[in-house]
Amino acid sequence: MSTPARRGDRGSAAIELAILVPSVLLFFAAVIVGGRYSLARQAGEAAAYDAARTASLARTEGDARSQAETAARNSYLAAGLTCDPLDAELVDPSGFQQPVGVAATVTVRVVCELQFADIAMPGVPGSFVIESSFTSPLDTYRSRT
């Protein structure tokens, strides 16, 4: 004797799957976007550190500005990220006017707009602005002009 099939359950697996799949895909997409943003923040901190350290080794304020931007750009490129635009500015360049023997610092603020156009989904912005800064001491006994 066979048991009659219950007609009320036919097609319920397809409906459950149709509801579950988009939510699982959105979860994985959110994890990917969050991970990429976290890596971009870390790259921003590293770029600010590299830019400030490089600027602190320069002898003039003008050299410090150009070398800081180059160091920040290279740091982002090493992380596999491209900024469009990138701005590395000396927050307080007055340390370069201090006489030799006086402790001074240089602070560099790096602002980068990272493009995430490859993650094209509703609700996900196409770019993120990452801001970071770092302060590095100038060598007390090195000449500054």
* pTM over the 0.75 mark: yes
Digit-coded pLDDT (tens) for 69-110:
999 999 999 998 888 888 888 887 788 888 888 889 999 999
In angstroms, the first-to-last Cα distance of the chain is 101
Three-state secondary-structure class, residue 121: coil
Given pLDDT bands bounded at 50, 70 and 90, which one contains residue 121?
low
Side-chain half-sphere exposure of 96, counting CA atoms within 13 A: 18
